[in-house]
Structure 1
């Protein structure tokens, strides 16, 4: 029993390496932060873009813009240890690229959030779970609104008496 408890505590205890990497890692909720290691965050962003979950609702053109912006920041930071060492004009360009990335990734992350509802399907008394991303729910709502708005109205039949 003592060995089992010791193993459980060791498994839960953070190591120095994991603390350092968690401080430099990218958090989708917070966005890109250039006061921390850019290369570690860049790798984390690219990994999150490829996992099919974190940013599942990102548009193809937005994905391309994010990758290009990451490449531009890499080239602008080339050789500099921090953003503070860059000339003012370069700092502005890096900041603009950072904001573009944070805006696109923030929107995609919010749209990729899965929301589940317990609903009764039409014609049934048995509730079922319906899970969709925020963007899927928005598209379904807009599609239903468009259908009702643009559906031709039924013509009243003339009285045949």
Structure 2
């Protein structure tokens, strides 16, 4: 029993240490309501987490609602029962993992590229996920193109 309590406390503190490093991740120990409002605002702005899947967006909102309910009913993190602490920690990790992945995929990357046959360069900006989708699409098109339609070497 004591091990379980200690493990839950360590997990909550480990989650809060990770949250301090990254900005919009959830940390129930440090102003959860402000973090919740910020996350919901960023989910709605269409830019910060532009590459988040609709199902993941709903998972994040549901987890935030469950955390809010647990904290409101108990009166704070310190008053949570052990099972509630574990549940809150699991929801906190779910939100942190989804938002971290979505934040990485939504990051905008710009490159200077030259158009074929031109010396002029232009900026090409795409999210990491959009760039990955474009690469996968190009590879799939090459796989589907019959060999007799591919350009010969040396041309």
Q: 2:26 aligns with which of 4, 28, 32?
A: 32
Greater gyration radius: 1
Cα-to-partner distance string for 1:4-57 (whole Å, 9 max, x where unaligned) = xxxxxxxxxxxxxxxxxxxxxx98934111111111111111111111111111
| 1:141 shift after superposition | 0.8
Q: Does 1:45 align with 2:54?
A: no
Q: Which residue of 1 aligns with 2:14?
A: none
Aligned residues of 1:115 and 1:132 also touching (Cα < 8 A)? yes
Q: Structure 1 stretches (4+) deviating beyond 4 angstroms?
A: none
CA RMSD of aligned residues (A): 1.9
Taking the TM superposition and a 5 Å limit, the aligned residue runs for 1:59-70 are 59-70=53-64
After TM superposition, the score normalised by the length of structure 2 is 0.78
Aligned equivalents of 1:84, 1:104: Cα separation in 2: 26
Taking the TM superposition and a 5 Å limit, the aligned residue runs for 1:3-152 are 29-30=22-23, 31-152=25-146
Structure (1 or 2) with the greater helix fraction:
2
Count of aligned pairs: 130
Aligned equivalents of 1:125, 1:27: Cα separation in 2: 46
Cα-to-partner distance string for 1:97-127 (whole Å, 9 max, x where unaligned) = 0000011111111111111000001222111
Aligned equivalents of 1:153, 1:58: Cα separation in 2: 37
Q: Secondary structure at the match of 2:30?
A: coil
